[in-house]
Structure 1
Amino acid sequence: MKIRIATRRSPLAMLQTNEVVERIKLSNPECICEIIEMESEGDLTDAPLHTIGGKGLFVSKLETALANKVADIAVHSLKDVPAMIDSQFSIVATLPREDYGDALLLREGLTINDLSKNLKIATSGPRRKSQLLAINPELNIVPIRGNIQTRINKIEAENLDGLIVAKAALNRLEIVYPNMYAFSENQMLPAAAQGAIGIEVNSMELESDIRNLLKLINDQPTYQATEIERKIVASLEGNCLSPISALCKISSKDTELKVRVSNQDGTEVYNEAVRFNLENKTDALKGFIETLIRNGAKEIIQQ
């Protein structure tokens, strides 16, 4: 069996793709994996993503490769995949989730206590920006683009006081930053599917041998949790402009789901949480989503 794997060319994307290859080889040592490196639309510009089409720019070119049968599977940072994707495609597997939290990389000499001051903090998304402003509305939040190492280099080059990145990216790339603070869930709830690697296929291939192989490498707890988180974002009609956070934790006894929505400047923040048994997932999520909508979650994220 041969599997053609579409991926972005960034160091993080390649590392994640190689992890997928390793797991495929463990399940089927005779499988031949061909990696197809691609530059996504999002990689070809430094403009803020929310001004040019959102995180879907990282996905569209890989999906085109699936549609044109140039590739059999595509590997993504699942948080970059829009919650609502075309029915032509399906997320069919996830690898075990890395740390789902956000990290604040601070300039030398600063501590988390300095976040009460008028610091210049760089971040690439409205979700992080709104939660930062909820902590301190006087912060100067500036946009930033580039791969992780490029962003870190900009702390000094652009005279930043701090930079927010996903803890998972630092861990996977084995980057140890000397002055890092890991946010708690209460301080900054993560994006849906943050820390998870997702594998996407053409929906026409759902009954194929490749699909059966992907079932073997799928981490079911991560798949179930991220599916729930993405369902929340989709139900609120969220996009790259939407400050929506969702975190689902599944244990043997119960499932805990936390959601946070806010307006763009962090002056209005709404938190909601629920616990339920996975056997009652459908009814529990239906009721939870109804509560979110009834309490104005859709309107808040549009402010």
Structure 2
Amino acid sequence: MGKIIRIGTRESELALWQAKTVQAKLEALGHDTILVPITSTGDQVLDKPLYELGITGIFTKTLDVALLKGQIDIAVHSMKDVPTQLPKGIVQSAVLERAVAHDILVHKGADFLENHENSFTIATGSLRRKAQWLHKYPNHNVVDLRGNVNTRLLKLIENDWQGAIFAQAGLERIKLMPKDAVILDWMIPAPAQGAMVVVTLEKDTHCRQILSQINHAPSEMETKVEREFLRTLEGGCTAPIGALAQIQDSTLAFKGVLFSLDGKQKLEIEKSISLDDIEDFGKNCAKDILNKGGDALMQAIRDENSAIH
């Protein structure tokens, strides 16, 4: 049915799983496809925390370049890795049905969570996870953890940490979810966590029309609100921001949080709204946070980030 659709993807096991999921959906519609694995900068530079690299879209930039150069026709991403502002000429063309959005703790025995006296070590490369963990467990130590899912699990085994934090969806997708993992239902996930997005060139009406057929509208709506909240708050600055929108019948329930980098300060919002009224809802929730002290907190985070860089 026309040309072969070249699907760009990162080379990790999880990224390939995601790309193959999109591939199967497109081939079920009768389209010929081919996977084009590409190594991203985020996969190559593993000795620095993400926020120290100071690059927006570190895992997506290489695929963006391949798209713009005409080397691939579409690119598949974990939506939480995608900058809220897409490069000029590239558009979001499909959001697949979202998996569970929770974070989980993979551990070597969870008894330490009941010990509030001693200090323990948890690993994560995420500012958001680090801030929320320190907010709940201020006497713990959080160390940086980088690499793809498989690499991070191996590092947990090799180091004397008590545990490491992962996205539940990622481990479940590649069947590496430990039976005793602790679901962190108190931790607000990253905006669009658990969702996969497919992007293509704005001028490629052929691929855009095809991809519209695999779009999941409720997931698109939820992630739009979350990413709008993120975009309004951060203004291009990396910060500990969590957001979760969930559609329940004709209503959308939203939780959003902004933390200081050390987890000591927390600003949150929890609201519900009719699906008929969700235009600018994420933006308005972010403005509420900014008005409640978020402006000053974001400036403090920018100052700390610029000191790091």
Whether the aligned pair in 2 keeps the contact of 1:233 and 1:244 (CA below 8 Å) is: yes
Unaligned runs of 5+ in 1: none
The letter of the residue matching 2:170 is: A
Supply the distance in 2 between the matched residues of 1:302 and 1:85 (Cα, whole angstroms): 24
Whether the aligned pair in 1 keeps the contact of 2:232 and 2:287 (CA below 8 Å) is: no
Supply the distance in 1 between the matched residues of 2:17 and 2:283 (Cα, whole angstroms): 37
Unaligned runs of 5+ in 2: 301-309
Supply the distance in 2 between the matched residues of 1:193 and 1:141 (Cα, whole angstroms): 24
Q: What displacement does 1:250 show? A: 1.3
Q: Pairwise CA RMSD of aligned residues?
A: 1.7
Q: 1:115 to 1:230 in 2, by over 3 A?
A: farther
Q: What displacement does 1:285 show? A: 4.2
Per-residue deviation, residues 232-273 of structure 1 (Å, max 9, x unmatched) = 111112557310001111122201111000100011001101
Supply the distance in 1 between the matched residues of 2:224 and 2:242 (Cα, whole angstroms): 14
Whether the aligned pair in 2 keeps the contact of 1:83 and 1:234 (CA below 8 Å) is: yes
Per-residue deviation, residues 178-219 of structure 1 (Å, max 9, x unmatched) = 4310011xx2100000000110111222xx122111111011
Identical pairs, percent: 31
Whether the aligned pair in 2 keeps the contact of 1:121 and 1:161 (CA below 8 Å) is: yes
Q: Indicate the residue corresponding to 1:198 in structure 2.
A: 197
Whether the aligned pair in 2 keeps the contact of 1:5 and 1:34 (CA below 8 Å) is: yes
Note if 1:75 corresponds to 2:76: yes
Supply the distance in 2 between the matched residues of 1:161 and 1:244 (Cα, whole angstroms): 24
Q: Indicate the residue corresponding to 1:262 in structure 2.
A: 259
Q: Indicate the residue corresponding to 1:150 in structure 2.
A: 151
Whether the aligned pair in 1 keeps the contact of 2:229 and 2:285 (CA below 8 Å) is: no
Q: What displacement does 1:287 show? A: 3.7
Q: Indicate the residue corresponding to 1:274 in structure 2.
A: 271
Supply the distance in 2 between the matched residues of 1:139 and 1:105 (Cα, whole angstroms): 16
Whether the aligned pair in 2 keeps the contact of 1:54 and 1:240 (CA below 8 Å) is: no
Q: 1:107 to 1:54 in 2, by over 3 A?
A: farther
Secondary structure of 2:6's counterpart equals strand
Q: 1:245 to 1:291 in 2, by over 3 A?
A: same
Whether the aligned pair in 2 keeps the contact of 1:50 and 1:240 (CA below 8 Å) is: no
Q: TM-score, normalised by structure 1?
A: 0.93
Per-residue deviation, residues 21-69 of structure 1 (Å, max 9, x unmatched) = 111112x22x111111000011111121111134611111100011111
Note if 1:16 corresponds to 2:18: yes
The letter of the residue matching 1:5 is: I
Per mean C-alpha deviation after superposition, the further-off stretch among 275-284 and 191-200 is 275-284
Supply the distance in 2 between the matched residues of 1:181 and 1:266 (Cα, whole angstroms): 21
The letter of the residue matching 1:138 is: N
Note if 1:118 corresponds to 2:119: yes
Q: Indicate the residue corresponding to 1:43 in structure 2.
A: 43
Q: What displacement does 1:284 show? A: 4.0
From 218, 221, 233, the equivalent of 2:218 is 221
Supply the distance in 2 between the matched residues of 1:243 and 1:121 (Cα, whole angstroms): 17
Q: Indicate the residue corresponding to 1:127 in structure 2.
A: 128
The letter of the residue matching 2:69 is: N
Q: What displacement does 1:128 show? A: 0.3
Q: TM-score, normalised by structure 2?
A: 0.91
Supply the distance in 2 between the matched residues of 1:55 and 1:171 (Cα, whole angstroms): 27
Q: Indicate the residue corresponding to 2:306 in structure 1.
A: none
The letter of the residue matching 1:165 is: F
Q: 1:289 to 1:150 in 2, by over 3 A?
A: closer
Secondary structure of 2:129's counterpart equals helix
Note if 1:298 corresponds to 2:289: no
Per mean C-alpha deviation after superposition, the further-off stretch among 116-125 and 58-67 is 116-125
